[in-house]
Chains A and B, each alone.
Chain A
Amino acid sequence: MLQRLFASANMALSSRDLAIVSELYASFSGQRDRLAGAARPETEPMIIPAFERVYQERQAGDERAS
């Protein structure tokens, strides 16, 4: 399947490439499982970081407190 994916993008995936990618994929299986187990159903992904909004909300809160 991986070779078909790369072929569809006009990229040759040699047998050595395929072996390395397969090995890497296997080596991250434990991390993938931990990740899937940790992601809580109610959490939305942080695709676009909105740290500025967090900062502004805290600033507004501090001003109200003072």
Chain B
Amino acid sequence: MSGRANEVAFLSISELVSAFERGEVSSVEATRDQLERIERYDEVLNAYITVLADAALEQAEAADRARAAGETGALLGVPIALKDLFYTAGVRTTAASNVLADWVPDEDGAVVRKLKAAGAVTLGKTNMMEFAYGFPHPDFGESHNPWDLGRTAGGSSGGSAAAVAAGLAYAGMGSDTGGSIRSPAAYTGLVGLKPTYGLVSRAGVVPLCWSLDHAGPLTRTVRDTAIILDAIAGYDPADPASARVETGASVAGLDLAIEGMKLGVVEDLFTRHVEHEVESLARSAVEQLEALGADAEAISVPSTALVGPAIMPILQAEATSYHWPTMQERIDDYGPIVRANLQFGATVLAKDYLDAQRVRRQLHSAVEELFERFDALVFPTQPTVALPMNAYGMTEIPQGDALDVEIGHTGWANLTGHPAVSVPCGFTEAGLPVGLQLTGRLFDDAMILRLAHHYEQATGWHTRHPEVMV
């Protein structure tokens, strides 16, 4: 591969659009380059389930014609990838399960419609954990981490993460029920945003758990995340949780000052199950934010220990409720781990579910109280770096406390609904990325993106890219 092509593949969205506008590269050229890279690298990454080469090139040609006719747009002609649970008209949408292996939706989901309306080019549908439940189906496998092919890209949006990190898409769409955007983003050195619950429509997204599901982007820079968010946010009557709030100011707010912003440094989540190098890098990131003018204060929030116990019964019960009719007809089409978890979901007592929803309200109230004193809460996105591939095998069932470790840091914001972004905060000695999580006030997603943007620009972690060996 030539140096120039590599440079184009790893441009940010804003840089790519500038290159389009200067006539240095066309959308067709950028799309063809991405398709060639998918052909070359995806054999080892397993990031894509379906590649839409012909449709992508047609969309790119249309984008180039539109630009020539004077149209502009922050996503016009930009090749992106969609997790394979976003409905795509006429294109199979599998959710990485044999249950939906041949399912072809009649129409695009709300987010897909908005991205296409903004001129984005859809390269394909990305691999994921089966039905976003956190475990891969053996027939689809896990996506490999471009920084270390022996490690997972994480889940459940691991395909989108692997694709964007390796330069096989300029952005990837994901979904996040307990951390499924932020965890893979942290593991692969990307920015991943779980927007405020209700800000981005989930209509046309295969659900996992209605009251915890969110849709959001994974990108290589914070500005790119803001660009995507501005394109996809907004009220949608087709999503019962959709909120009528003002949207569209994420990009505009990025460069506003952060001096004097108050950060609550959640000490409990710097220590609970956290690897030493992860803790060290996250603490350095807080020091960097202080150097940029933010005021950081260490706080203890003991109720964070309840995140795992509260989120699991909700997730298990709602997922089993959604899947019950299919379980009756096609239980053997689920992978072994998701099958077991769906069956286990039938044992969650109504009392357990309601206890969880009561503790959820307590957690929400506690976070709202913190936001009377702080502008953002800060802690490592995940306690560990990316796990080795097949950490659980394809059949071993992870149990209570193991799940608590994985979901304890990210599930908090799913329960409370607050926006949370993971931004790269360095690399371990072994060269594995680590993420810092910033959580903000409801519907003030722009605030955490502003903090993350200032941090990113001061550190430059986003300029590092993996060399994928084929």
Contact = CB atoms under 8 A, between A and B. Distances in A.
Q: Do A and B actually bind? A: yes
Interface of A: 2, 5-6, 9-13, 17, 20-21, 23-25, 27-32, 34-36, 38-40, 43-49, 51-52, 54-55, 58
B352 interface: yes
B245 A35 contact: no
Interface in B388-405: 397, 399-401, 404
A43 B399 contact: no
Interface residues of B, number: 49
Interface string B333-370: 00000011101101100011011111111101000100
B412 interface: no
Nearest to A42: B358
A59 to B, nearest CB: 9
A51 B417 contact: yes
Interface stretch (B79-87, B255-263, B304-312): B304-312
A51 B211 contact: no
A43 to B, nearest CB: 4
Given A25-B347, A32-B352, A34-B309, A46 B360 contact: yes
B340 A38 contact: no
Given A27-B400, A35-B309, A35-B313, 9 more contacts: A11-B331, A17-B339, A23-B397, A27-B399, A31-B404, A36-B352, A46-B357, A46-B360, A47-B211
B211 A49 contact: yes
B417 A28 contact: no
A24 B352 contact: no
Nearest to B341: A24
Interface string B190-215: 00000011100000000000010000
A51 B76 CA distance: 33
B400 A30 contact: yes
B328 A28 contact: no
Contact of B312 (A9, A17, A31): A31
Contact of B442 (A10, A34, A40, A55): A55
Nearest to B309: A31
B340 A40 contact: no
Nearest to A40: B362
User: Which A-B residue pairs are the 10 nearest by beta carbons?
Assistant: A45-B357, A27-B399, A31-B309, A27-B400, A46-B361, A52-B243, A39-B358, A43-B358, A51-B417, A28-B400
18 contacts: A12-B331, A23-B399, A27-B401, A28-B312, A31-B308, A35-B309, A35-B313, A36-B355, A38-B306, A38-B309, A38-B359, A39-B358, A39-B362, A44-B361, A46-B364, A47-B357, A51-B198, A58-B442
Contacts of A49: 197-198, 211, 241, 417
A4 to B, nearest CB: 12
Which of A44, A47, A52 has the most CB atoms of chain B within a 10 A radius of its CB?
Answer: A52
A41 to B, nearest CB: 9
B324 interface: yes
A45 B358 contact: yes
A36 to B, nearest CB: 5
B244 interface: yes
B427 interface: no
Nearest to B372: A58
A19 to B, nearest CB: 10
B358 A6 contact: no
Contacts of A24: 340-341, 344, 397, 399-400
A10 B325 CA distance: 10
A58 B244 CA distance: 15
